[in-house]
Amino acid sequence: MADLFDRFESLRARRDGLVGDGGHDPFQVEMDEVLSQTEAMIGGRRTILAGTNNYLGLTFAPESLKAAHDALDAAGTGTTGSRVANGTYSGHKALEQALSSFLGKEHAIVFSTGYLANLSVLSTLVGPDDYILMDADCHASIYDGVRMGDAQIIRFKHNDAADLDKRLARLAKKPGNKLIVIEGIYSMLGDKAPLDEIVAVKKKYDDVYLLSDEAHSLGVLGRYGRGLPEEAGLEDDVDFIVGTFSKSVGTVGGFCVSNHPQFDLLRLACRPYIFTASLPPSVVASAKASLELVEKGGALRKRLMRNAERLHSGLTALGFTLGGDVSPVVAVVAPDVEIGVAFWRGLMDGGIYVNLALPPATPQNFTLLRCSLCAAHTTEQVDRIIEVFAEVADSLGILPKQSKKKTALG
Amino acid sequence: MSAEPSDGASQDVRAVVLEVLQTFNKTGVTLGDGTRFTEDLNFDSLLVMEFIAALEDRLDISVPLNVLPDVETVGQLVVATEQIVREEHG
Ligand SMILES: Cc1ncc(COP(=O)(O)O)c(C=O)c1O
């Protein structure tokens, strides 16, 4: 008799192959106790967290904690309803106003997660006669969002404005709107979009809109943390900005902002906005408080970048191959999945948590030991991360400097 | 990078599809219109994406992801690709 779960057989085999032989399971890490933004007890060991996307370390910001506590006491543990029913409180509206004034766009909509923000916007903004032109390295939530909609989905080569240009040129004679979708900082390798080149291409054609997912760049780039568009001085050229509260804002939730006068109509069109419960008041309150800290967070951004540079140059000096330029995401490329898993376990045994990222969730089939830094990491913690990377590479016999073969992790 | 599809419409799309596909043929089956991507070529979603990108380069076209769910065999891909070549270069 066929079992319902037979269809997962290859998944099971792959999982067992990766984690079957004991040791830490990369997909079942349990934080027994979170000690701070940068440390947790994992499996009885004090562990430095270097893979949390908690870029500014705001998860324990006193202002945000207080706002969350107050809202919890005042408005309860949850809204028990959709934004379009009983789930919009004054806090949700205040958060939308705060986003709108922070990002300088007329309209803002808050969703329950960034994933749902992408599903919502990408599945409804464009219709059957329209085209999505998305960067091939876009996040799974973008792939899922465009698949949920009816537009024609075209991928252009990662960060290749000339390839985008070619594809737009071929569509120029076709009616229908075109929506370019990019990310400010790409989540896996930490590389930035060439926004100036993409905007220049966009301006060559009619009926082209630009959406940027600033999940990893909000709070990180720009003097005031408004992301890549601010850093590049191109905020007016990005028509839609999607973002999340689950990274630099330190809580959970998603949003989209735009100047389009009819933007609010999306509230009546997006199923992942309508058919899910709204964020609880405490989350909404802490997101709003943290956004203020993001805007004022110049000093945090400096510390974050200093940490990023230190980790990037330390790992480069050891001979590791890194996925991109200096950014708060520092991705070490492992030669294959087996070494990647062994390396990740070695890091855990050494008290360092990073993300193990495997194909197909990674660009170019890379196996990645993906670190993300936090403004709250101390110099000593960053140095310890580098030290453990060196120790593990050494114990696996793949430290590029020592083995003459420059291929290992290099 | 790509062949110049100067006479796009008349270009032998089938031959190009087969030629590009041959570089992704790890199972060694003989390629024909009936060859199935999943069953015969063991393609997973990642390999499909890589193959389509190579085909796009070669023919200087964009293959919308939307066509992929309906494509099970090489023959079906040839038909879909011919239509795109006609639309984009015809
Ligand atoms: C680029 C990108 N977009 C969207 C998301 C989803 O964000 P959230 O965690 O709020 O669902 C993520 C994070 O996973 C991301 O990396």
Query: How is chain B split into domains, by residue range?
Result: 8-89
Determine the residue of chain B that is closest to A361 in CA distance: B46
The predicted structure's pLDDT at residue B9 = 46
* pLDDT for A407 beyond 90: no
Q: Which helix (H) or strand (E) holds A348?
A: helix A337-349
CATH number of B8-89: 1.10.1200.10
Between the CA atoms of B42, B46, B48 and B52, what dihedral angle is there, to the nearest 10 degrees? -150
What pLDDT score was predicted for residue A54? 98
pLDDT at A279 over 50: yes
Selecting among A92, A105, A178, A216, the annotated active-site residue is A216
Q: Give A 369-408 residues with CB within 8 A of chain B.
A: none
Distance CA(A120)–CA(A112), nearest Å, equals: 11
Note whether B46 contacts A152, CB cutoff 8 Å.
no
Answer whether A153 sits within 8 Å of B66, measured CB to CB.
yes
Average the pLDDT over A206-215 and give the result.
98
Residue scoring higher pLDDT (A18 or A149): A149
Q: Is A38 helix (H, G, I), strand (E, B) or coil?
A: coil
State yes or no: pLDDT of A404 exceeds 50: no
A216 among known catalytic residues: yes
Contact B66 A152 (CB under 8 A): yes
pLDDT at A1 exceeding the cut of 60: yes
**Mean of the pLDDT values across residues A262-270?**
98
Task: Give the C-alpha separation, A112 to A83, whole Å.
Answer: 9
Q: What whole-number percentage of chain A has pLDDT above 70?
A: 97
Query: Is cis: bond before A26, omega within 30 of 0?
Result: no
Q: What percent of chain A has pLDDT over 90?
A: 89
CA–centroid distance, B36 to ligand 1, in Å, is 35
Task: Give the CATH class of A61-295.
Answer: alpha beta
End-to-end CA distance of chain A: 49
Note if A282 is an active site residue. Answer: no
pTM confidence score? 0.93
pLDDT higher than 80, residue A240: yes
Q: How many other CB atoms are there within 10 angstroms of residue A16's CB atom?
A: 10
Helices and strands: H and E segment counts in chain A: 14, 14
pLDDT averaged per 10 residues in sequence order, chain B, 90 residues: 44 90 92 93 89 93 93 95 89
> Is residue A116 scored above 50 in pLDDT?
yes
User: What confidence score (pLDDT) does residue A360 get?
Assistant: 83
Q: What is the pLDDT of residue A14?
A: 87
- Pick A7-56+298-406's CATH classification: 3.50.50.60, 3.90.1150.10, 3.80.30.20, 3.30.2290.10: 3.90.1150.10
Q: Which two tokens stand for residue B47?
A: 């390999």
* Contact A176/B at CB under 8 A: no
Mutate to test the pocket of ligand 1, among A53, A109, A139, A228 (most ligand atoms within 8 A of CB): A139
Strand order from edge to edge, sheet including A39-42: A31-34, A39-42, A45-49, A352-353
- 8 Å CB contact of B46 and A360: yes
Quick one: pLDDT at residue B5?
45
**Mean pLDDT, rounded, for A118-146:** 97
Is the predicted pLDDT of residue A180 greater than 80, yes or no?
A: yes
Provide the pLDDT for residue A401.
57
Residue A27 has a pLDDT of 87
Chain B hits for A365, CB-CB cut-off 8 Å, are 46
Phi/psi-derived region of residue A405, left when phi > 0, alpha when psi is between -120 and 50, beta in every other case:
beta
- The rounded mean pLDDT for chain A is 95
Q: Does B44 touch chain A (CB under 8 A)?
A: yes
What residue segments make up the domains of chain A, in order of their start? 7-56+298-406, 61-295
- What pLDDT was estimated at residue A410? 43
Cβ of B64 within 8 Å of Cβ of A154? The answer is yes
pLDDT by residue (tens digit) across A324-350?
A: 889 999 999 999 999 999 999 999 999
User: Measured between beta carbons, which residues in chain B are less than 8 angstroms from residue A359?
Assistant: 46
Residue A405, pLDDT score: 42
Q: Per-residue pLDDT for A310 more than 80?
A: yes
Top-confidence range, A20-34, A227-241, B63-77: A227-241
Place of tokens 């009619």: A206
Q: Select from A394, A190, A157, A405 the least CA-distant residue to A309.
A: A190
**If you take atom 7 of ligand 1, which residue's CA is the nearest one?**
A114
- Residue A222 to residue A218: CA distance in whole angstroms: 8
Residue ranges of alpha helices (H) inside A83-227 are 90-103, 114-124, 140-148, 161-171, 195-203
What digits encode the pLDDT tens for the residues A70-79? 999 999 999 9
Q: Determine the straight-line distance between the first and last CA of chain B, rounded to whole angstroms.
A: 21
Residue A398: predicted pLDDT: 86
Q: What spacing in Å lies between the alpha carbon of A69 and ligand 1's midpoint?
A: 25
Instruction: Find the mean pLDDT for residues A291-304.
Output: 98
Strands (E), A157-262: 178-183, 208-213, 240-244, 254-258
